[in-house]
Structure 1
Amino acid sequence: METQDRISALPDEILCHILSFLSTNDSFATSLLCKRWQPLWLFLSIIDLDDQTFIQNGRSYTSFFKFAYGILLRCHMQQPLTIARFHLTPHVCGYSNDFPYHLFKKWVRIVIQRGIEQLYIEIPRALEVPHIIWSCKTLVVLKLYRLSVDVFMKVHLPALKTLHLDFLFISKSQYLAEVLHGCPNLAWYI
């Protein structure tokens, strides 16, 4: 008697919703277990990149960057895909002097082009906030942890409702006022 796989019979939207509760690394690994699930990771609207799973499994932070870049490149090629939430937490590799800031800026550009609504970036050392963040029209929640603002551009975040700046290094005090002024719908500032 053949057993029926009820979960795989669910519509793609529900399967993607289920996968969205896992880290991106686990979602990718889970989608490889079953042919039916294989293409689904390409349509995840929540991307959660954390290097701890890579480091704990004995892989280098270089493999984390390659994985992250591959995920974002695939998402970039899926034209209609909107990324609802992007969470980047390079706990270990963020300390490295080899941290690929140029890739980091590309990743941020890709998710902003995909209509990002929630952006969380937690990096354990001060890197400059990519300028493209300050003009994202779709951003509703922005959380920046331990980044720096050295050169400033005009801020235009019309949809932003929640702004969380934690250990943000701001070189000039007027920059913070400029950020707040550029967020007309801001309801929460932490």
Structure 2
Amino acid sequence: MMEGRDLAWDRISGLPDPLLTHILSFLPIEEAVRTCILSKRWVKVWVSLPVLVFDNRKCKQDNLTKEEFQKREEKYLRFFCSVILNRENLTLDTFKLTWWGSNVRDTLLHIFKYFCCAVECRPRILSIHIDIDTKTLPGLTDSIFKCTSVEEMSLWLEIDYLLYEDSFIKPKPFNLPFLQKLELYYLNLNNDIMRMFISGCPVIEELVLLKCVLEWCMISFKVLKKLVLKYCHHCGPMEISCPRVVSLSIESINTEGITLKNMSSLVTADILCAPVFSSLATVDHLKLRLLGGLSNVTSLKLYSGCPYVMYLLRADIPNCPTLKNLQSLDLGEIKINCNWNWVACLLKHSSNLKDLTLHFFRPGKDAAKEEFQGDISFQNEYLEAVKINCPGKNVKLAGELIRTSGTLVETTAKIIIL
């Protein structure tokens, strides 16, 4: 009779190759490759792994000298090349490559060569994260944007000089017919590049731009459903026109203005504005035209990065439509002694609102107190909760805010201090 350990071993070895490779795909690539020493049965199992993830940061350890790190990196590079070479042209599902801190030309040439081999394996998910100190990236972007099989792509090129080049990405026209999700980080994107994206990505549904330099004035995609812009820089006014976008997130974009147009499908909006200006005297030429594009949202978070943004939001009040579908509204940061008319305007246009959250901050001692102007109170029969976030959770201050909000909103909704 076979011992229990041998029986368990035989059961695993007897599984078909597709199931074994699926199990191995959950292991780090280094451990998956090591299974080749188990027996002849396992020698080639790892070769058809559908997921390959490489990260040279594993080479870094505390107290390593420069020479020791280079040796570890060279060893990892040989491992990377060997894995790609042994796979031949077997189809990949996912390929992820992270390579930090290398400025050796030969290393980069090897990475590029075998990266091209991986692209020829037609991955469905492609992720490239490179942080290096050299401009030697020969033809990398051409290979990336010709990967016709890819459905999800993340491109992170954290290289300082990218922010100052006229245009780093200079590939030939894109050909990404199945791409649905695209994430770009630390890239300089001009009008020509964006036109290539629009024409070369006909079915793209999700676009994420983080810390990119944007040199075009209009973001316009006909089929896009989700748009995320975070910590990007754009000199000049920006217009967003995406009729099928249902989710929009804008956070800390340095720009001279944002206009939302043709956003009738928008359901969820999370907007934190931070336009480029230094004082109230310089904002007259800046425009925030946001409210006109929010007519069908059900959930809205609207935050200002500085007091001057509130000035621009108030100027946008005449463009505020009836927010008939809005059920959740989160506003901040609001000066405790501010004129609440712009807040009241939003609330009056939100007759079906159920959940209201107000975030306050205490202005400086020299800030002038603003008084209510006209009749700004209204009734809301559907409102269930008013949440108030006040500085330092000051109980006395919270009471004042509750009384003020009571003047603003005539409701029996539960008031909660966050």
Distance 1:97 1:151, change over 3 A: same
Using the size of structure 2 for normalisation, the TM-score is 0.41
Equivalent runs, 1:121-140 vs 2, <5 Å: 121-125=128-132, 128=137, 129-140=140-151
Distance 1:55 1:31, change over 3 A: farther
Q: Which amino acid aligns with 1:87?
A: K
- Structure 2 unpaired stretches of 5+: 163-167, 209-418
Instruction: Identify the residue that residue 67 of structure 1 maps to in structure 2.
Output: 79
Q: Give 1:185 deviation, angstroms.
A: 0.8
Q: Give 1:61 deviation, angstroms.
A: 0.3
2-side partners of 1:34 and 1:106: how far apart? Answer: 32
Q: Give 1:181 deviation, angstroms.
A: 2.6
Count of residue correspondences: 183
Structure with the higher fraction of residues in strand conformation = 2
Q: Give 1:173 deviation, angstroms.
A: 4.1
Identity of aligned residues (%): 27
Structure with the higher fraction of residues in helix conformation = 1
Q: Answer yes or no: is the 8 Å Cα contact 1:83–1:115 preserved in 2.
A: yes
Match of 2:125 among 118, 121, 130: 118
Match of 2:203 among 177, 185, 189: 185
Equivalent runs, 1:30-179 vs 2, <5 Å: 30-56=35-61, 60-76=72-88, 79=89, 81-90=90-99, 94-98=100-104, 100-125=107-132, 128=137, 129-146=140-157, 149-170=168-189, 172-179=190-197
Tell me the alpha carbon deviations over residues 2-58 of structure 1, each in whole angstroms, 9 at most, x when there is no partner: 331122221111110000011211111233234422211111121111123344597
2-side partners of 1:22 and 1:52: how far apart? Answer: 17
- Structure 1 unpaired stretches of 5+: none
Q: Answer yes or no: is the 8 Å Cα contact 2:141–2:169 preserved in 1.
A: no
Using the size of structure 1 for normalisation, the TM-score is 0.84
Q: Give 1:113 deviation, angstroms.
A: 1.3
Distance 1:31 1:120, change over 3 A: same
Distance 1:173 1:125, change over 3 A: farther
2-side partners of 1:112 and 1:185: how far apart? Answer: 20
Structure showing greater Rg? 2
2-side partners of 1:24 and 1:11: how far apart? Answer: 20
1-side partners of 2:154 and 2:202: how far apart? Answer: 17
